[in-house]
């Protein structure tokens, strides 16, 4: 039991020593940091004390300049010189910026005339004020003219846009009217030179009527570059009859001729008249 108690006491002493060592190291570190902070604080105070006289000088100079400006503002010469400066600035600008500077010039001139009516600058100020007012009015007139011109240009542009829109609508209505009077619509077609020495006019035709069409023939007529007739070919379209809203292929072939440059396509009833067709019926090679 005595040995056990002795061991516990020894462990307790070691732990106390360890804790004391830790607190000693922490206290030493914190002391060093506190010394650094105090040194930095002292350095800042020294710097502040050093610049205080400079700041005081700057403030004094600032106050002196303010006093000088205030004193200058109490003179007729100051207002006249400021009016001339604003007027010179206005002459180098245009529009609202120039007009506003002429207005600022007149403010100084008005102050001069009202506060120093007996000054030798007062007569000059009145003349200068009249010129400023005339210039500002001219600028305002020019601004109004340009604004009106811009408005007229916008109105002309809107009118042109409306005209073009109406023209497009009229063109669409015209095409719709032409289409409504036709029984067939030529959706697409082309000229091709195939094997066996043949030229083929082939494409797609749609029945846009409300009735079935029987024995519909594609008739292709071929021309040279000068528009002179060369030959023609006919063929019954693939679907016979072609039902309402149905699309049928077609192909009309003729023997190859190197002079062929363009062709026309139309559709007829076999042994009867031409069928009204909507679409581009002329094609170049």
pLDDT digits (tens, 9 = 90+) for 175-222: 999 999 999 999 999 998 877 789 999 999 999 999 999 999 999 999
Tokens of 189: 């077609």
For 230, the 3-state DSSP assignment is strand
CA dist., res. 54 & res. 18, Å (int): 55
- Average model confidence (pLDDT) for the chain? 86
Residue 72 has pLDDT above 60, yes or no: no
pLDDT digits (tens, 9 = 90+) for 73-82: 578 888 889 9
Cis? peptide before 241, omega within 30° of 0: yes
Q: What is the pLDDT of residue 24?
A: 63
Contacts of 41 (CB under 8 A, 6+ apart): none
- Read off the pLDDT band of 230 (50, 70, 90): very high
CA dist., res. 143 & res. 124, Å (int): 28
Residue 69 has pLDDT above 80, yes or no: no
Q: What is the pLDDT of residue 67?
A: 54
- H or E segment at 148? helix 120-180
The ranges of the chain annotated as CATH 1.20.58 are: 76-151
Helix axes 2-73, 76-91, angle to 10 degrees: 100
For 261, the 3-state DSSP assignment is coil
Please name the residue that has the structure tokens 């007027």: 87
Q: What is the pLDDT of residue 7?
A: 67
Is the alpha carbon torsion for 274, 278, 282, 285 positive or negative? negative
CA dist., res. 211 & res. 12, Å (int): 115
Best mean pLDDT range from 14-28, 44-58, 252-266 = 252-266
Residue 97 has pLDDT above 70, yes or no: yes
CA dist., res. 1 & res. 87, Å (int): 110
CA dist., res. 84 & res. 142, Å (int): 23
DSSP state of 276: P
The ranges of the chain annotated as CATH 2.60.40.10 are: 184-284
Listed as own residue / partner, the contacts of 86-90 with beta carbons closer than 8 Å and 24 or more positions apart are 87/128, 87/132, 90/132, 90/135
pLDDT digits (tens, 9 = 90+) for 104-155: 999 999 998 999 988 888 888 899 999 999 999 999 999 999 999 999 999 9
CA dist., res. 42 & res. 49, Å (int): 11
Helix axes 120-180, 76-91, angle to 10 degrees: 30
76-151, CATH topology level: Methane Monooxygenase Hydroxylase; Chain G, domain 1 (1.20.58)
DSSP-derived pairing of the beta strands 198-207 and 282-284: unpaired
CA dist., res. 204 & res. 36, Å (int): 96
CATH superfamily of 184-284: Immunoglobulins (2.60.40.10)
């Amino acid at each position: 039991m005595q040995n056990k108690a002795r061991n516990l006491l020894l462990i307790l002493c070691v732990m106390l020593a360890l804790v004391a060592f830790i607190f000693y190291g922490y206290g030493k570190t914190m002391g060093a940091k506190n010394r650094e902070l105090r040194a930095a604080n002292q350095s800042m105070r020294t710097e502040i004390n050093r610049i205080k006289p400079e700041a005081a000088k700057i403030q004094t100079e600032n106050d002196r300049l303010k006093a000088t400006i205030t004193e200058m503002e109490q003179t007729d010469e100051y207002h006249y010189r400021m009016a001339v400066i604003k007027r010179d600035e206005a002459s180098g600008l245009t529009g609202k910026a120039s007009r506003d500077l002429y207005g600022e010039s007149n403010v100084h001139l008005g102050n001069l005339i009202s506060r120093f009516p007996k000054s030798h600058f007062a007569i000059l100020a009145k003349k200068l004020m009249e010129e400023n007012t005339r210039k500002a009015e001219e600028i305002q007139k020019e601004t109004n003219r340009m604004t009106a011109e811009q408005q007229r240009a916008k109105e002309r542009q809107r009118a042109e846009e409306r005209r073009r829109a109406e023209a497009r609508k009229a063109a669409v209505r015209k095409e719709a009217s032409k289409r409504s009077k036709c029984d067939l619509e030529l959706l697409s077609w082309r000229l091709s030179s195939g094997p066996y020495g043949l030229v083929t006019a082939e494409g797609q035709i749609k029945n846009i009527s409300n009735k079935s069409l029987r024995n519909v023939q594609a008739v292709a007529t071929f021309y040279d570059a000068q528009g002179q007739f060369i030959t023609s070919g006919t063929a019954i379209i693939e679907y016979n009859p072609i039902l309402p809203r149905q699309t049928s292929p077609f192909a009309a072939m003729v023997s190859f001729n190197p002079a062929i440059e363009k062709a026309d396509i139309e559709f007829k009833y076999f042994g009867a008249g031409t069928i009204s067709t909507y679409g581009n019926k002329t094609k170049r090679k």
